[in-house]
Amino acid sequence: MEPNNELLKFTVQNKKIILSITKFLTDEKTIRNFDSTERDSLDVAIQCLENLYHLDEVTKRELENDIVDIRELIGGDTVVSAEDEHEAEEYKNKGNSFMSSDDFKNAIVEYTKAIQLNPKNPVYYCNRAAAYNKAEQPLNAIIDCKNAIKLDPKYSKAYGRLGKAYSVIGLVKEAHEAYISALKHDPSNDMYRENLKYLDVSQDTGSQNNGLFNNSALFKIIIQLMENDSFRQVLENLTANENESPYINNLLQMGQVLVNRLQAPEIFQQLQGGRTVEELSKAENENPDGDIRQ
């Protein structure tokens, strides 16, 4: 019997669903401790689905903005199993170890794995924010701090790390508000009070937002874009496929130039009103922003 070709035609909606499933399987392969045979099985499953639904690279790029996290579609609040909670804690502890050895890149990787397993724990976002701050990625730190605060509106450390990230990019008003909130929930914290006092002086003397960075609206727009899940997914896909297009690679290189410029010691010091990285580290208390290991 010949197959009915009409039945084998897949709608765009079908393909979006399958792409969301393969994204979930890819995430599982990343965060689970599967052995090589199990990982191969996942690869085969992904390949079979993509072949059956005719999902070539062009189609995947066209539909990448419509991929959803199918875990969010499983009715109601996210349920985290005891096994996932335990495994997430192990990833968090690995992240803490990397933080202790100043390996911020790998700390971020481990905290990300913890978040994927248990996105309901604000500590994981806040710890990753600390790692992002130490790795001089303040925009990512801001997003994580906001996620932590959504989960725990009284989380003083999240407000403190948010204040630090805002101050690095020269958003003095936002940094001031963040430190006020941090002190509200932890009034005995001298570090927050000291940083708040410094911001007040900076506002009076106009020592922040100088030169290249005098347009704080630009950073606000970037932050808003980064808070958009679809935009972040596009960035992740661009990064994953940077070798496939010279135009994408050039775009990423331009972004890297800007990041490097932001991280240059003289620019960083300018943004901080003359304080060096070493002075800031001392003020922030080298045990990154308090008890990272909670």
Give the CATH number of the domain where residue 91 resides. 1.25.40.10
Positive/negative CA dihedral, 127, 132, 136, 141: negative
Give domain status of residue 66, yes or no. Answer: yes
Tell me the C-alpha distance between 294 and 288, whole Å.
Answer: 12
Find how far residue 168's CA is from the centre of its chain. 17
Kindly state whether residues 150 and 207 are assigned to the same domain.
yes
Give me the amino acid identity at 8.
L
Residue where a domain stops, chosen among 51, 73, 95: 73
Task: Evaluate if residue 144 carries a pLDDT over 90.
Answer: yes
All residues at 6 or more sequence positions from 134 whose CB lies less than 8 Å from its CB, including other chains: 99, 102, 104, 288
pLDDT at 63: 85
What pLDDT is attached to residue 228?
A: 60
Task: Tell whether 94 is covered by a domain.
Answer: yes
Residues 176 and 193 placed together within one structural domain of the fold: yes
Indicate the pTM of the whole model.
0.58
**Does 92 reside within a domain?**
yes
Judge if 153 and 97 occupy the same domain. yes
Q: What is the mean pLDDT of residues 187-214?
A: 68
Q: What is the pLDDT confidence band of residue 208, given thresholds at 50, 70 and 90?
A: very low
Let me know whether 99 and 28 are in one domain: no
Asked whether residue 206 is assigned to any structural domain, the reply reads yes
Determine the pLDDT at residue 288: 45
Pair (47, 88) in one structural domain: no
Question: Residue 220 falls within a domain, yes or no?
Answer: no
Q: Identify whether 154 is part of a domain.
A: yes
Taking residues 34-62, report their average pLDDT.
88
> Does residue 93 share a domain with residue 135?
yes
On whether both 43 and 106 belong to a single domain, the answer is no
111 and 176 fall within a common domain: yes
Q: Average per-residue pLDDT in the chain?
A: 75
Range in 162-176, 197-211, 276-290 the model is least confident about: 276-290
Residue 189 in domain: yes
Q: Which of 167, 191, 212 is the last residue of a domain?
A: 212
Please check whether residue 294 lies inside any domain of the structure. Answer: no
Regarding whether 148 and 121 lie in a shared domain, the answer is: yes
- If you search the block for the tokens 């019997």, which residue do you land on? 1
The number of distinct structural domains making up the chain is 2
The number of beta carbons lying within 10 Å of the beta carbon of residue 64 is: 19
**pLDDT recorded at residue 223:** 62
- pLDDT tier for residue 245 given thresholds of 50, 70 and 90: very low
Q: Are residues 200 and 105 in the same domain?
A: yes
User: Are 89 and 205 in the same domain?
Assistant: yes
| Mean pLDDT computed over 267-272 | 48
Domain boundary among 174, 197, 212: 212
Per the structure block, which two tokens stand in for 269?
A: 């010091």
Q: What are the tens digits of pLDDT across the range 51-83? A: 988 888 888 888 887 787 776 666 556 678 899
- Kindly state whether residues 60 and 97 are assigned to the same domain: no
User: Above 60 in pLDDT, residue 170?
Assistant: yes
Instruction: Provide the domain limits for residue 156.
Output: 82-212
What's the pLDDT at 281?
A: 43
Banded pLDDT at 130 (limits 50, 70, 90): very high
Q: How confident is the model at residue 201 (pLDDT cuts 50, 70, 90)?
A: low
